[in-house]
């Protein structure tokens, strides 16, 4: 490879599914020199080193001081404390981005704790993942042909945005930009609410006295609907509280739809029920067809 690498030292805070996959992809693309991981509570990160995901582990303040690029990939509830701890140790030209599933709370935390470095912090969200957590689930192809949404700040330096675009493009992703408000509205509807519903359904069944018997008969439909209820409880606690307003709005809209459908069943209104099913089935099939193009 003749072209210059995008970074020499990449630091990943939170070497799990997302941070680990980004490290593997960047390494595979030959776009980084050293990769240093930062863990929680003195976590040794030995597994991440053994798997070849990172070269070394270091405490936060030591790791960030000569970093070219920092990816924050812990659950979003950790961000304020991490920003506060790293701020005094950042080099002036470092670029910082994140993988958090919510953006309004992350940007608010950055405005509070990263104020002197706000022009170098480009908020982001890879729209790829799984119900599995931890570095053992990381894989280099996770972001291939997937979307990454950046919600740049008006304070951002153009070169920091360009480097963050290049970072995710090197991971194989398609990068797009939008406002933080639009991001949080969209993902409340098509990611945060569906996860909440899956957790709610499985929790409701699991607490029943004959749960094992019921689950013993569950088939593919239940498997598809409930897959994401196997996701990280900590991560989804943080997301649900971080995107509170947009998520409450989606819960209300869903509840209204459910109430309407309950009424249709109660009054034996098959035509109305079928009309809703038809609309949903049509929209779902069209969406899948478009995805497979």
Question: What does the DSSP 8-state code read for residue 37?
Answer: E
Binding segment for ligand ENO among 41-49, 88-96, 126-134, 161-169 (CB under 6 A)?
Answer: 126-134
Residues 83-112, interacting with ligand ENO (CB under 6 A)? 101
The CB-side HSE value for 65 (13 A sphere, CA atoms) comes to 6
Question: Which CB, 78 or 101, lies closer to ligand ENO?
Answer: 101
Out of 49, 87, 118, 127, name the contact with ligand ENO by CB under 6 A. Answer: 127
Q: Report the nearest approach of ligand ENO to the CB of residue 109 (Å).
A: 17
Q: Which is nearer to ligand NAI, 32 or 101 (CB)?
A: 101
Helix (H, G, I), strand (E, B) or coil at 78: helix
Distance between CA atoms of 113 and 225, rounded to whole angstroms?
A: 39
264 binds ligand ENO (CB under 6 A): no
Count of alpha carbons within 13 angstroms of residue 246, beta-carbon side: 22
- Cα(23)–Cα(140) distance, rounded to whole angstroms? 8
Q: Which of the choices ligand ENO, ligand NAI, none does residue 38 contact, using the CB cut-off of 5 to 8 A by kind?
A: ligand NAI
Binding partner at 228 among ligand ENO, ligand NAI, none, C-beta below 5 to 8 Å by kind: ligand ENO
Contacts of 53 (CB under 8 A, 6+ apart): 15, 20, 23, 24, 35, 37, 135, 138
**HSE toward the beta carbon, residue 6, CA cutoff 13 A:** 25
Q: How many CB atoms lie within 10 A of CB 131?
A: 15
Q: Given the complex with ligand ENO, which of 94 and 129 has the nearer CB atom?
A: 129
Among 22, 90, 228, 242, binds ligand ENO (CB under 6 A): 228
Residues of this chain that interact with ligand ENO (CB under 6 A) are 101, 127, 129-131, 191, 228
């Amino acid at each position: 490879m003749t072209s210059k690498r995008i970074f020499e030292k990449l630091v990943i805070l939170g070497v799990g599914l997302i941070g680990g996959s980004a490290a593997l992809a960047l390494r595979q693309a030959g776009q980084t020199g050293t990769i240093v991981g930062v863990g929680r509570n003195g976590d040794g990160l030995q597994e991440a080193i053994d798997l070849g995901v990172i070269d070394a582990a270091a405490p936060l303040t030591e790791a960030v001081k000569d970093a070219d690029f920092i990816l924050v990939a812990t659950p979003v509830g950790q961000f304020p404390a991490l920003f506060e701890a790293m701020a005094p140790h950042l080099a002036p030209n470092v670029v910082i981005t994140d993988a958090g599933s919510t953006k309004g709370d992350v940007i608010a935390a950055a405005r509070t704790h990263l104020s002197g470095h706000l022009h170098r912090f480009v908020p982001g969200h890879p729209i790829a993942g799984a119900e599995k957590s931890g570095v053992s689930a990381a894989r280099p192809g996770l972001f291939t042909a997937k979307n990454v949404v950046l919600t740049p700040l008006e304070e951002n330096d153009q070169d920091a945005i360009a480097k963050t675009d290049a970072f995710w493009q090197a991971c194989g992703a398609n990068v797009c930009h939008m406002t933080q408000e639009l991001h949080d509205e969209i993902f409340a509807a098509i990611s945060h609410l569906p996860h909440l519903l899956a957790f709610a359904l499985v929790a409701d069944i699991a607490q029943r006295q004959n749960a094992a018997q019921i689950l013993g008969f569950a088939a593919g439909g239940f498997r598809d609907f409930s897959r994401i209820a196997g996701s990280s409880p900590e991560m989804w606690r943080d997301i649900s509280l971080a995107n509170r307003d947009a998520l409450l709005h989606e819960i209300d809209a869903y509840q209204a739809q459910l109430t309407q459908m309950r009424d249709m069943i109660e009054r034996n209104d098959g035509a109305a029920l079928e009309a809703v099913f038809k609309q949903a089935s049509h929209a779902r099939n069209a969406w899948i067809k478009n995805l497979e193009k």
